[in-house]
C-alpha cells in the first residue's frame, strides 16, 4: 500500500498506534521475565555447598613443544611463538598483534 507522506496526518491515528505499541510491549515483557527467572535458577551463588561434587582434575605437565607466554601467561604450542623479547621471554602471536 502506498503512503502519501505529504498529506496532513490525523492525530487520532498517531495516538491509537502509540497505545497499540504500549499494549504490545506490556504483553511481551512478561515472557522475558519468565525466561530470565528460568536462566537464573541454573546458576549457583558463590559460597554454595559443593561438598557432594567431585573436584578431581587430571593435570598434564607442559610438553617439550610448548611455552608459557610472558604476556598472557597461557601455555601455547611452539607454532604460536611470535618472538622472544629482550629479557628472553617468549611472546605468543595473539599478544604480539
Cell of 21: 505499541
> Looking at residue 13, what is its pLDDT?
63
Mean pLDDT of the chain: 80
The domain locations on the chain are 62-96
Averaged pLDDT, 3-23: 72
| Predicted local confidence at residue 65, as pLDDT | 95
Q: Could you tell me which residues come within 8 angstroms of residue 78 by beta carbon, excluding any fewer than 6 positions away?
A: 65, 66, 67
pLDDT digits (tens, 9 = 90+) for 40-85: 777 777 777 777 778 788 989 999 999 999 999 999 999 999 999 9
The pLDDT value given to residue 68:
96
CATH T-level fold of 62-96 = Wheat Germ Agglutinin (Isolectin 2); domain 1 (3.30.60)
Q: Does position 26 have pLDDT exceeding 70, yes or no? A: no
Residue 57: all three cell numbers together: 582434575
Strand segments, DSSP code E, in 1-97 are 66-68, 75-77, 81-84, 90-92
Mean pLDDT, residues 18-46 taken together: 66
What are the distances in angstroms from CA 81 to CA 63, 72, 86, 91, 93?
15, 13, 15, 6, 6
Report pTM. Answer: 0.44
Amino acid at each position: 500500500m502506498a503512503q502519501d507522506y505529504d498529506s496532513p496526518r490525523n492525530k487520532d491515528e498517531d495516538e491509537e498506534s502509540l497505545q497499540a505499541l504500549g499494549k504490545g510491549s506490556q504483553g511481551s515483557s512478561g515472557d522475558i521475565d519468565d525466561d530470565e527467572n528460568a536462566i537464573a535458577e541454573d546458576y549457583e551463588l558463590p559460597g554454595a555447598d559443593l561438598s557432594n561434587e567431585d573436584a578431581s582434575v587430571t593435570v598434564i605437565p607442559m610438553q617439550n613443544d610448548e611455552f608459557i607466554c610472558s604476556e598472557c601467561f597461557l601455555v601455547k604450542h611452539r607454532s604460536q611463538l611470535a618472538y622472544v623479547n629482550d629479557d628472553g621471554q617468549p611472546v605468543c602471536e595473539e599478544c604480539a598483534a
